Structure 1
């Protein structure tokens, strides 16, 4: 990732190769329009007397076609669709919402595809955090979300942010006034707009639902170039299609997200189980009685590498008086001698993956292709499926990664396109592979994903939009089930020219 951005920086030092519109450097070659016949951007010289060139509207920001820039936006965190086939024609660095409105109108009129690129991460490793090309827009316009990354206001019970703000930025700002978003992803350096467009999940899902369930309103630019506000009661159809709809009905530019009082500290219990049966029993026990504020877990290798065990990771938050640990652990069947209990600052737990990110980068795992498999399993079939998974996977299947695995209530999920199994309790199954550098079996892992997905679907599972699973239009129709027709209608209504986010492949 960092090498990509060094390349972009390098080309910026060669102005003769740059093509930029808006905020133009005096030595830059200006792009003035789109050639509808050759399907390429045209310079002023190329546009003279050429009726095939449609002028681009004036922008406060920039529209860049520099090779280094479009190359960078052809890649994502998953590195499974990198390179030329995924290249956009141009990258919009918006100077404001009006720039995005103008470009959407221009794209619609000229049949150019458009997608937002979240551009999350840390340090120099900034890029789309999709893992299966979901944010790519071959031959279209990629919108750099960093151009809309302001925190606009912090209120008593909500924050208003531009869609490119990351959860980490928002959390740090709200903690300054004793507040926090009620639901956060495990990795905080991803854009809020991108996350809520696919749902977003974290360790408080059993209390607050998906991240998109904590959104109170959105400002969104629809396919007809209109900027509108949508809520659960105002433009409900648009609101429901935008949250967990994979970016199909518009470009979210502003978000009003709920805030709650932030605790000062958390007691985190890492409890280990030798088998899936005991883990499932305890997971559902603490889910039902609600004794913990945070509830996550995972399947992981035994320390000696001899097979699998399970970890229940639960947390109790407080301000001044620590909770009674014996009461919280009462009735649980974990291997108590293996338990790890830590009392940590609330912020430290929220940003706990910072250290792990550094380890993955140091070992090279951060930069490898990522064939992830993300699904929701019906609780009644979870044991059966996990027994199969125990047989299918080994240590090499994970590389430097992990397999998140924990239950929550489907009653907490409010947005209709966040598809869930038809049971009251479901399990997140999130196989987040970080393959070893040089791993030759990436395609075999993707094939395994598809095989496990088919098995899970037969058991009543639904996929989560994050993952790396080859899907046909028929697969997507089956996935959305009785909500497919409504989704198709929303697409036709709010994106009639079908210009938004082609990388998801829903309507291919």
Structure 2
């Protein structure tokens, strides 16, 4: 029962000459051409790319950005085509293996999974390198069609050549479009354009049955809406059509500072309501004398030509005007503003250290109470070289049904994007704090964003998180992934 294949379709062996030709369920290992007994393994399909089992490759796909959870796959698919993913999903289902897409995005030649707590891990299964699907197929006046492994930074540059931009972008743009839209994708334009997933018009997706399907709000809507912000549970997004809008040339950034939380929150919600800024975010920051926390409202307007008058834009706001910071820069420089910060984090070792992030969404009615509780126990050491983001958005802007939101018109994102120093012994304590803050947020009517490190999440926790959407979501999971092949790291239904 041999299976002749071209050299490029074979698994790269652990050692020269040890070429794997298929999976042996009897031994739970990959069979090699040198040692496999005829008929004792399931032959691999012919592939355009390669499936690798070299120890270093498996190690590279075992960890993620968070550096706290590991899950070593048995093989890594470097797809040469979308059909490779179709074949491998079918093969995995037939052989009771699991599969997960791994974003493998990044900047400066570095590539890694950007999940933070094992969400993209597939221990014992097959990890798919999304970075091998990185073609920008079309960029037009109103939309672009791209492979799932294309990063937002790459799409941005392609769109800017014709004066266009994605309307919603993450703060860190070197992330794959497939990965971010699978979890939602949030940034400082959520107030106007929703999540990154809200800007997707159409997807090509490989279901857990190994079917390649095109889906949109009009065609196969049940699959479309379950895939976007569905954390890879019903299929693997392999291509997406994303909305584009005209791009401005310049960003003028105004940083406003507040010592009083109530005043900060009122101004945040005021500018949210009147929509005067293109981008709106905020942070909990240290006072200049390091005596405690204060609050920063980051307000940005995009424009071409002369800069707007800050005094006019800031009318009616009650910030500490003497502390106001205003700067203008090219639009692209603003969008990629975290690139120099990334260089610093990598040089100082923060990037490669464990990062127990926490991302929560609070109803506006409870946001101030929760933020006060957070700041009462938050220390600079809890953030390290990271930051704490806090800002409101309109829940009506979120149109993807699997995004769990508080039941109010306005919600607040509360982000603890921690970058502890290398060797910090307090990671377990930070994880425990994350769990405690999450439970407190839930008690106040809050939800979690799918990015983050919250230990001990149970099926009951996820059932409460999704609420009335949980059972319909589980039904769609069983329909489109009946063998439970896809993305086990999410843990929604296990």
The equivalent residue for 2:133 is 148
CA offset at residue 493 of structure 1?
0.5
Q: Deviations over 1:86-140 (max 9, x none)?
A: 1000000000001111001100101100000000112243110001010000000
- Between Structure 1 and Structure 2, the one with more helix by share is 1
CA offset at residue 178 of structure 1?
0.5
The equivalent residue for 2:52 is 64
CA offset at residue 147 of structure 1?
1.2
CA offset at residue 28 of structure 1?
4.8
Q: 1:180 aligns with which of 144, 165, 174?
A: 165
Q: Secondary structure at the match of 2:77?
A: strand
CA distance in 2, matches of 1:481, 1:206: 24
The equivalent residue for 1:54 is 42
CA distance in 1, matches of 2:298, 2:233: 35
Q: Is the 8 A contact 1:19 1:65 kept in 2?
A: no
The equivalences for 1:109-128 within 5 A come to 109-128=94-113
CA offset at residue 337 of structure 1?
1.1
CA distance in 2, matches of 1:380, 1:57: 55
The equivalent residue for 1:30 is 19
Q: Deviations over 1:346-405 (max 9, x none)?
A: 001000001111111122111110111101110010111011001121000000000111
1:42 and 2:31 correspond: yes
Q: Is the 8 A contact 1:24 1:62 kept in 2?
A: no
Q: Secondary structure at the match of 2:466?
A: helix
1:473 and 2:451 correspond: no
CA offset at residue 24 of structure 1?
9.3
The equivalent residue for 2:480 is 494
CA offset at residue 19 of structure 1?
11
The equivalent residue for 1:317 is 302
CA distance in 2, matches of 1:136, 1:341: 42
The equivalent residue for 1:14 is none
The equivalences for 1:159-238 within 5 A come to 159-238=144-223
- CA gap of 1:31–1:180, structure 2 versus 1, over 3 A, is same
CA RMSD of aligned residues (A): 1.6
CA distance in 2, matches of 1:176, 1:333: 40
CA offset at residue 45 of structure 1?
2.4
Q: Secondary structure at the match of 2:248?
A: coil
Structure 1 residues without counterparts, runs of 5 or longer: 1-17
Q: Is the 8 A contact 2:361 2:448 kept in 1?
A: yes
Q: Secondary structure at the match of 2:35?
A: helix
CA offset at residue 29 of structure 1?
3.0
The equivalent residue for 1:406 is 391
- CA gap of 1:222–1:310, structure 2 versus 1, over 3 A, is same
CA distance in 1, matches of 2:20, 2:288: 58
The equivalences for 1:6-21 within 5 A come to 21=10
Q: 1:283 aligns with which of 249, 264, 268?
A: 268
Q: Is the 8 A contact 1:112 1:499 kept in 2?
A: yes
CA distance in 2, matches of 1:384, 1:69: 47
Q: 2:333 aligns with which of 326, 340, 348?
A: 348
Q: 2:115 aligns with which of 120, 130, 145?
A: 130
Q: Deviations over 1:52-72 (max 9, x none)?
A: 300010111000000000011
CA offset at residue 322 of structure 1?
2.2
CA distance in 1, matches of 2:55, 2:12: 18
1:422 and 2:407 correspond: yes
CA distance in 2, matches of 1:158, 1:454: 40
CA offset at residue 324 of structure 1?
2.2
CA distance in 1, matches of 2:12, 2:377: 54
1:336 and 2:325 correspond: no
The equivalent residue for 1:253 is 238
Q: Is the 8 A contact 1:183 1:205 kept in 2?
A: yes
Q: Secondary structure at the match of 1:45?
A: coil
1:482 and 2:468 correspond: yes
CA distance in 2, matches of 1:304, 1:26: 59
